Chains A and B, each alone.
Chain A
Amino acid sequence: MTAAFVAGADVPLKRRLKRAERARQFRALGLVLPLLAFLLFTFVVPLAGMIWKSADDWEVPQVMPQTVAALKQWNGQGLPDEAAFAALAADIRTAREAGTLAVAAKRLNYIINGYRTTLLSTGRKLKEQPAPGTAKDTLIGIAPAWGERESWTAIKSASGPVTSYYLLAAVDLTRNADGAIVAAPPDQAIYRDVFIRTFTIGFGVTALCLILGFPVAYLLANLPTGRSNLLMIFVLLPFWTSLLVRTCAWIVILQSEGIVNGSLQWLGVIDEPLRLIYNRFGVYMAMTHVLLPFMILPLYSVMRGISPAYMRAAASLGAPPTTAFLRIYLPQTIPGIGAGCLLVFILAIGYYITPALVGGAADQMISSFIAFYTTETVNWGLASALGAVLLLSTLVLALVYGKLALGRQTTGGLKN
């Protein structure tokens, strides 16, 4: 034994500890490796793809390579030179033959409304490559827009390889013809409002879930096992039916001719049906219902671990029930409150089926817009940018939570 001790003695203790720890860490890593691989392909890669898409600017460089090259030297003041016009004409003709002109037209139309018409009609009318030196006059002759500086700055700003256009647009900003960041025109500046609405609904639903879920979780954690199991089944019941069915059930219940209005009218409480759905009220109602279990479960699991002995101890030490609750019980449930709120909030701000079905036009959340841009207009750039902004704000919140949770962390203490 002494020999073994001496044999390692020349290696510093710290290093030996590190070596021993490393083996343990490798083993731990081995255990989570399959999950990490899975997450890499199903989460990290798509996420990275999404973030890349929000900055990727491939359309114009690919469709109009000569114009992009010719505009490299242009300083953005006045109109570009004759060579640029010639390059544009050549690009338009090539693209039209290849059938890719619409791709560039769509991208440029984001920047200037009507660009698509300009480009496509130029393509149609440009029968042959203009003779050298006449490209400028020919193009302006076909479409006067080519005589405007903005048409050219649009191409230059979209000439890749990356752009801040989508990300700026996602927060209602844009670049003017001089490249400075300015507020987007009012008809396009909608996303800030949508983000604010999304977070307002998120906070509201989280608060409602907490208020409704806390007493239920407390009851669950403190009832005798048999009855708490029964109650737990009721809590989990919503998970047994699909989200769509549950949301549609709310429509049946809350609509003008629905159960609630029908009963109230029958009872004579109201004369006109109340507007309970296709507005913010319906959104809060349906989303709170759907998300309540996500609040109750983490709260329950934390409360389960809080021994009733603490409340008894507090009472025996002279604390009235309210004081004991506020000073002893509540602080110990904070990890559960934090986890539940984070979970509900993050799920809530990602919801779009429920608001789409039971909300009005002014209740649509950011996900509806993301879905709209991916499935309806196929504007991946803007959809990704909105997603990235949502992700970023969620991350910030999670970090704040992490900071708070870590600050409160205790090393446990005996549970009994």
Chain B
Amino acid sequence: MDGGMIATTDTLVRFTGVQKTYDGEHLVVKSLDLDIRKGEFLTLLGPSGSGKTTTLMMLAGFEVPTHGEIFIGDRPIKNMPPHKRDIGMVFQNYALFPHLTIEENVAFPLSVRGVPKAEVKERVKAALDMIKLGNLANRRPGQLSGGQQQRVALARALVFNPALVLMDEPLGALDKRLREHMQLEIKRLHETMGLTVVYVTHDQGEALTMSDRIAVFNDGIVQQIDRPDALYERPVNSFVANFIGENNVLSGVVENIEQGWARVALDAGGSVVAQAVNIGGAGNRTSLSLRPERVAIETGDSGDSSMNRLPATLTDLIYLGDHTLAVLNTPANPEFMVKLPAGSYAGLVPGQDVYIAFRPEDCRALDPV
């Protein structure tokens, strides 16, 4: 939970208390406070219908916030029409103009700005070379593959050096390999051109690899905004813990809290010590979050009393090359998953009674699910 709220001088865009409703009944965006810093790659990540596109559209000027204000620099942009916002946008389905050639598509933002013809030619050529499509300049969008069209859309959104680039699931329509290739390409452009990018996706892998910061959306609310590693290692609530990466959940009731450590009595019996992150006082229900790679399997008692230890039965071992996934049945969670590093499961056989062991600092007590 670092400084999403800290107003620094290099803040490019700021949302303050933004709400949005389409039907006047329920809020699609409930209360959005968000700072976008100059030069950063910010990803909006969240399940379908969580309000990511709506947020982007408000920023681009195609939707008007029902409440609250958006600033670019210090200027409120409520009354600024989209074409004056200087925001480059890449749409999910590219929206390349079908009646114009690739060259004309990329030249469009320059020619509407009245850039002299010779300069337009030069910059378009540079932009097409940047995406390595200079040889297709005279084709029409319909004659290009999906990946090529996406690159053209990218070049078109970048050619006029916008202050901010918005991308709404730009890679959603591409196959996996091409998607990974394009991720690298976008990342490279971001770094070499020093762009500020707001990127929407519901693919968490994409979000984790590309972003400087990720804002996790759910139900019209930003659940957490943080660096990818912090988001994964230190989720602040159960939604984020479950949405990002694999997660094991154990439910229980808080017995006591002491200096940030909570003793939790599990519903299925036994008690563990966990980091108190997002819980009320003693007596409240909580869901414990445990990453599969932070748990060890012990066949006997190691005697380390600083570890939490729960009995379990090994039900399955799934070989996955670089690691092995162990599925265990514990009273608290019948499908508990543990990631074992390659080669470390010697001697384990399904059906065996074992213990799962984890450190209190790897176990986060969050809001109950």
Contacts and interface: CB of A to CB of B under 8 A. Distances in A.
Contact of A312 (B95, B109, B140, B157): B95
Given A313-B97, A319-B109, A328-B97, 12 more contacts: A309-B95, A313-B89, A315-B81, A316-B83, A317-B157, A318-B84, A320-B83, A321-B83, A331-B99, A410-B98, A410-B140, A413-B96
Contacts, number: 100
A169 to B, nearest CB: 46
Interface of B: 60-62, 81-89, 91-99, 108-109, 112-113, 140-143, 149, 156-157, 160, 166
Contacts of B95: 307, 309-310, 312-313, 416
A411 interface: yes
B93 A314 contact: no
A314 B157 CA distance: 10
A359 to B, nearest CB: 40
A315 B109 CA distance: 9
Given A312-B62, A313-B95, A317-B109, A413 B142 contact: yes
Contacts of A23: none
A412 B92 contact: no
B96 A317 contact: no
B99 A315 contact: no
A309 B97 CA distance: 10
A66 interface: no
A414 interface: yes
Given A309-B93, A411-B142, A319 B83 contact: yes
A117 interface: no
Given A314-B108, A323-B112, A413-B141, A332 B99 contact: yes
B112 A318 contact: yes
Q: Which of B94, B95, B156, B166 has the most CB of A within 10 A?
A: B95
Given A331-B99, A412-B142, A315 B93 contact: no
Contacts of A332: 97-99
Contacts of A317: 83, 88-89, 108-109, 112, 156-157, 160
B97 A310 contact: yes
Contact of B82 (A315, A327, A415): A315
A155 B62 CA distance: 79
Nearest to A330: B99
A413 B99 CA distance: 8
Task: Please list the 4 inter-chain residue pairs (A to B) with the smallest Cβ-Cβ separation, ordered nearest first.
Answer: A413-B98, A416-B93, A411-B142, A317-B109
B82 A413 contact: no
Contacts of A413: 96-99, 140-142
Interface in A313-372: 313-321, 323-324, 327-328, 331-332
Interface string A293-312: 00000000000000101101
B140 A411 contact: yes
A212 to B, nearest CB: 25
